[in-house]
Amino acid sequence: MKNNLPLAIVGLDPGTTTAYVLLGLNKEVVHSFSGKELGLNKVISQIIDNSRPVIVGTDKAKVPSFVEEFSRKTGAIVVSPTQDLGREEKRLMLLEMGFNSFNGDEHEKDCLAAALYAYRRIATKLEKIEVFIKENNLEVKRREFSEIALKENLSFQTIKEMLTKGDRGDKNEESFKIVKEAILNNKFTQKDHLVLLKKISNLHSENYCLTSKIKELEKQLKPLYKNNERLAKKSQNFNQKVDSLFLFKEQRLKQRTLEVEQKTEEIAKLKEEILKLNKQISQNNKLSLIKKIDNLGTTEFEKSDKSLGINAGDVLWINNPDIHSPLILGCLKGRSIRLISERKFPTILKNSFQTANLVKAEMVDESKLYYWADSVKLEDKFKLENDIVEKVVENYKKERERMY
């Protein structure tokens, strides 16, 4: 995408005739188009030639798969109504918002209505963004700030730090720059980066608090040592009490120091994980990210979900597929989750999810939490497994027909 293209809300209407309208954040029509048999890739190509999509709107309550796929590939956030927008409702919306003279065809008008509905939904947030940018002198960062604020559920202050600290070249702020690039360039692991960033941010805060406490304790110890020398001349018993107090303070100091060292080590490991993820992200057209989970039991899944952030469309490596919870399977079903394992999958998992059997040696790379696999080979493996299942089902149907 070109950096000088306007941020846009995309109104998208797929079908035999596919149409779209690009609405700028100032509520101006940037571009519109409709045509027959337009494929998703062609639609995306045309749209990113004219804008940088941040929101995609539809007039359907049930989001069409075409719109969902557009969102996944471009990173645009989907906005849909609670119920389908009616013809009269869309006509009145165009009239009320000053677009009664819009000369597009019926499909393009539907798209414009969907984009205007999405605009109404985010209008309050756009006003807050405008105020924050002016109050914090972020005009030069307006484009990046607006895009991140609309796409991600982050506080404005966090976004400001991400954009300003990430440009200073400070090694300690490297994680901010990585996350900013992941969001703006729509890398598929941006949520994984956000999880790691939050952990590092928390560890930095804890580290700062512990360091402050250590300095405060050191200040407290200095006068106590001097006071001890004076009191030692007066009373041995009193000196023993002071020694006990010193011992307690020193033990606390050692404990705090140990905690700081442990937190520092955790930060280093997380930074190393981020750098490795970033290296793999640069190859995201060739490699697929696979998240590691030991099993699909309730306890293990909840623990893994906290550290990995399991989302719709993820590919999961299951070490032991024989362990699974009906509750977890119900939560995952219908979310386009795909499963991989070295072991044979039980029938219930095969019937509920797309599965494939691979060995670890087929993985391109590995970290503590992830595997990376060749995208083409992985998709071929899933397709092969699916073809086998379909063939078995077809043979079974034919056998049944011969019997009856």
CB atoms within 10 A of CB 34: 20
Q: How far apart, in Å, are the Cα atoms of 271 and each of 101, 160, 190, 275, 366?
A: 54, 21, 15, 6, 16
Distance of CA 34 to the CA centre of its chain: 32
Nearest to 271 by CA among 179, 156, 363, 183: 179
Nearest to 35 by CA among 107, 90, 111, 138: 107
Q: What is the pLDDT of residue 188?
A: 45
Q: In what order do the strands lie in the sheet with 338-341?
A: 354-357, 338-341, 315-318, 287-293, 370-374, 365-366
Query: Phi and psi of 374, rounded to 5°?
Result: -60, 120
State the Cα–Cα distance between residues 341 and 385, nearest whole angstrom.
Answer: 13
Is 7-132 assigned to CATH 3.30.420.40?
yes
Domain extent listing, the chain: 7-132, 190-281, 287-401
State the Cα–Cα distance between residues 307 and 339, nearest whole angstrom.
Answer: 18
> Can you tell me whether residue 1 is helix, strand or coil?
coil
Q: What CATH code would you report for 190-281?
A: 1.10.287
Residue type, 102: F
Output the CA torsion 67→68→69→73 (10° steps).
100
H/E element, 386:
helix 375-403
Provide Rg for the chain, Cα atoms: 28
> Can you tell me whether residue 47 is helix, strand or coil?
helix
Residue 100 DSSP code: T
pLDDT in tens, the chain (404 residues): 556 899 999 999 999 999 999 999 999 999 999 999 889 999 999 999 999 999 999 999 999 999 999 999 999 999 999 999 999 999 999 999 999 899 999 999 999 999 999 999 999 999 999 999 999 999 999 999 999 999 988 899 988 988 887 555 554 455 555 555 555 555 545 665 666 666 677 777 778 888 888 888 888 888 877 777 777 666 666 667 767 777 888 888 888 888 888 888 887 777 677 666 655 554 566 788 899 999 999 999 888 888 788 888 899 999 999 999 999 998 898 888 999 999 999 989 888 898 988 888 888 888 888 888 888 888 888 888 776 656 655 666 667 677 76
End-to-end CA distance of the chain: 59
State the Cα–Cα distance between residues 8 and 24, nearest whole angstrom.
Answer: 5
H/E element, 179:
helix 174-184
State the Cα–Cα distance between residues 96 and 109, nearest whole angstrom.
Answer: 14
Asked whether the beta carbons of 148 and 180 are under 8 A apart, the reply is: yes
State the Cα–Cα distance between residues 224 and 230, nearest whole angstrom.
Answer: 10
Nearest to 164 by CA among 151, 145, 147: 145
User: Residues near 246 by Cβ (< 8 Å), separated by ≥ 6?
Assistant: 221, 224, 225, 228
Strand partners, 289: 372
